[in-house]
Structure formats: C-alpha cells, structure tokens
Structure 1
C-alpha cells in the first residue's frame, strides 16, 4: 500500500491569515498524513483567470493528488479518507462516523451570520467586540454541537482522543472565538485551547504571522 508520505500532491490555498477554507483543506491533508506542496493564490482581479483554470468554482482550497483535482473541503475530506483509510480521519464507530459527517456538513453549509460578523483574522485580538445579534444563534448552535460531542465522546477533540475531519472543519471557528473574545462555556473554551495547541494548527498560525501585512482580507469569499 502506498503511504501518504510517498505521494506528491499540491494544495492551492489563499491567505493563511484570513482564509478559513484554506485552513480546513490544509488540516485535512495533515490528518491524512499527506505532505503537500503549497501554492498560494490571492483571489484578486489579476489572479482570477488563473483560479478559473485551477478550479471551476473559483474557490480554494484545491487539492491535486494522484491524478484527481478536488476543490471542495468536504470533497477533499472524502477523497483523502478513501485514499488513506488507515489515517483515521473519521471515527471507526459507524454511529460516531455518521455524526462526524453530519456536523462537518453543517459547518460547511451554514452559519453565514457568524462568518460575516466574525471574519477569520489570525493577526489580531479584540479584548471587547460587539457581536452582531444575528450571529448569536450561530454561536449557540456551535456551542451545543461541541458540548454534545465532548460529553459523548470524552474529548479533548470532538470525537475523542484523536482529531477527525470535524476538528479540521471547526478549527477556524475556534480562532474566530479567540480573536473576538467571544464568551464561551468552559467546555468550549477548553476545546478552543485544544485546537490552538494541535501541532498542525500551531504550524499554520506561525506561517500566517509571517505573511505580508498587505495581503487582502478574503474570508468573505473564502
């Protein structure tokens, strides 16, 4: 069986400071044990034509691996799980696995008020930030998802001792809560710390800090 570390793959991403979707795709590759060559493309007018050639949806991340071109985060997750099933990207138990897929799909397609009210920005911290009231239901729903998983599966990650696809999908949310000093229940605060201390997450944040300050904020689109 070919090991993930033996495969050459490319991941097209956007800003590490602002792009939540790029972070998700990158963490998914790390979960699979897949080392990728990173290609950074900013989605401005000058680069839009190149992005169109890379991905019909004009979205990043885009994974090129073993002849496949995959550009949606959940599609990337499923592709990597199929290619590297030994990596344990999804829980082994079928009930837990279904739950993992469900909450991953929920963050993938929802929480638009949260996205717009609290854009990802890894370079700033607000001690006090007025959270738009429309984002409150999104925050409360995420808290409920996290608490349910942590209590059911024992933590410190959402499905137990090891990170899964769900943790990659919710990782950018933890950074938003920290950036904007969102008050959270103790279990949720502890989960944010778990993600912050996760080695791939630390690596990403350090790289984000090294990005040029002039990079455009992109999370509205990404």
Structure 2
C-alpha cells in the first residue's frame, strides 16, 4: 500500500484516466490503483463518496482528494519534485503546462469524432468539420516541442506533457489521422514506453465491451462519467 490512491475508469476507453496514470507511472511515482468500472447499464450514486465531481480520475492522499488530470499531476509534482513530472527549465515548464492545459480544455472535434478505444481496429472514418484542424494543431505542437528539445519526448525526457497527449496517440493510430513523419516517430516513441505498454495490455485484458452504437453523443465527457464500481 502507498499513501496515494488513483481512481480510474476502464483502461480501454478512459483517456482522462490514462493521463495521470501514465504520468505517475512513467515518472516512477508509487500509487495504488482503484478501477471504477464504466457501465452504461446502471448508475451508481456511491461514486459521489469517491469523487466530488462524480467523475474520474480522482487522487486520494489521506484526507485530501484531487480531481481532474492536470490538478492531480500538479499535486503529485509538489509531493515528488525530484520525479521530473514537469521540465526543470522554467521556460520549458511554462510551455509544458500551456500545451497540457490546451489538451485538457480543447480539441473537442477530435474528442467527439474519435474516442479512445484500445481495441478498435485501425480504420479511417468520414470526419466532421474541425477534426483535421485539431490534428494539424497537435502536429504543430509536437513538431515545435521536439524541434526545441531534440526529442525523443516533447521536453527531451518523459514528462507529464507526454502523458497528457498519450490518448491522442491511440486516436491518431486507430483512425489513421496523420501521415506526418515527425508525428509518426513521436507516436512510436510513446508506444514503446513501458507505461504505455502496461496500460494497453491491461486494457486489452478487460472483459467489458461497450458497443460504439451505445455511446452517447458527447463521447469524451461520457467516458468520464462513472457507474458501477468493480472492486480491485
């Protein structure tokens, strides 16, 4: 047992859960994991006892509860300043936080049209307006950061910024959204990371399947809503 417990939803679908999980795991920060199963068929008001917002991820540290991915990462970065969750250089750190919050708050067209799904076969779809604008903006962010740092991660070493963009790697891959060489090389770097591999393997082993035709219209927000709890 550790002092930190991270409540997450299904690893196959929950992009919001992946972000702090990969940030903490990738930076070697110990925590206990509690999976709160996403299930459309039944609600669970008990989730309010875990999460003030009724959503995941949530980090519990004693009596302290922190929700929302960036807030969790910021809190843990204060607890473990040596772990390298954010870059050490102040200018790089400002940029890393800026693009991380842009990821957290933006790219709605991409989120709605192309949900994260680790099991989904690679297949292009007809894309609504705005998706490719989102894709090009992400490609630009990646290229500018990699040119600045020299790679292989956005700020040379793995950081929370890479974790914040990790779900995009799945989206870009499964929906065949980019042919940009820099983006493809960066995506391969993320796919080789041990934390990514561990998450994907666990996602593929999950027994829960949600057919795409049962997903609500606001897919990204829906994945953050939690229902019945599976103890683990």
If the length of structure 1 is used for normalisation, what is the TM-score?
A: 0.91
The answer for the alignment partner of 1:89 in structure 2 is 85
The answer for the alignment partner of 2:228 in structure 1 is none
**Secondary structure at 1:133's aligned position in 2?**
coil
The answer for the alignment partner of 2:58 in structure 1 is 62
Q: 2:200 aligns with which of 202, 205, 211?
A: 205
Shift, 1:213, TM fit: 4.0
The answer for the alignment partner of 2:172 in structure 1 is 177
The answer for the alignment partner of 1:17 in structure 2 is 12
In the alignment, the residues of structure 2 paired with residue 132 and residue 156 of structure 1 have an alpha-carbon distance, to the nearest angstrom, of 32
Does the Cα contact within 8 Å between 1:18 and 1:219 map onto a contact in 2?
A: no
In the alignment, the residues of structure 2 paired with residue 27 and residue 138 of structure 1 have an alpha-carbon distance, to the nearest angstrom, of 23
Greater RCO, 1 or 2 (C-alpha within 8 Å, sep 6+)? 2
Give the aligned length: 216
Q: Deviations over 1:125-184 (max 9, x none)?
A: 223322223211111111110000011111110001x11110010000011101111123
Q: Which runs of 5+ in 1 are unaligned?
A: 1-5
In the alignment, the residues of structure 1 paired with residue 94 and residue 144 of structure 2 have an alpha-carbon distance, to the nearest angstrom, of 14
Does the Cα contact within 8 Å between 2:29 and 2:83 map onto a contact in 1?
A: no
Alignment pair present for 1:153 and 2:149 = yes
**Secondary structure at 2:44's aligned position in 1?**
helix
The answer for the alignment partner of 1:36 in structure 2 is 31
Does the Cα contact within 8 Å between 1:125 and 1:178 map onto a contact in 2?
A: no
In the alignment, the residues of structure 2 paired with residue 10 and residue 70 of structure 1 have an alpha-carbon distance, to the nearest angstrom, of 10
In the alignment, the residues of structure 2 paired with residue 115 and residue 76 of structure 1 have an alpha-carbon distance, to the nearest angstrom, of 21
Q: Deviations over 1:20-46 (max 9, x none)?
A: 001012112214422322221134474
Q: Deviations over 1:31-83 (max 9, x none)?
A: 44223222211344744312111112111011112432111111101101100
**Secondary structure at 1:189's aligned position in 2?**
helix
In the alignment, the residues of structure 2 paired with residue 158 and residue 185 of structure 1 have an alpha-carbon distance, to the nearest angstrom, of 16
If the length of structure 2 is used for normalisation, what is the TM-score?
A: 0.87
In the alignment, the residues of structure 2 paired with residue 128 and residue 118 of structure 1 have an alpha-carbon distance, to the nearest angstrom, of 10
In the alignment, the residues of structure 2 paired with residue 196 and residue 150 of structure 1 have an alpha-carbon distance, to the nearest angstrom, of 16
**Secondary structure at 2:77's aligned position in 1?**
helix
The answer for the alignment partner of 2:229 in structure 1 is none
Q: Which runs of 5+ in 2 are unaligned?
A: 225-232
In the alignment, the residues of structure 2 paired with residue 91 and residue 214 of structure 1 have an alpha-carbon distance, to the nearest angstrom, of 37
In the alignment, the residues of structure 2 paired with residue 141 and residue 35 of structure 1 have an alpha-carbon distance, to the nearest angstrom, of 33
In the alignment, the residues of structure 2 paired with residue 131 and residue 156 of structure 1 have an alpha-carbon distance, to the nearest angstrom, of 30
Does the Cα contact within 8 Å between 2:26 and 2:194 map onto a contact in 1?
A: no
Alignment of structure 1 residues 81-160 onto 2, 5 Å: 81-160=77-156
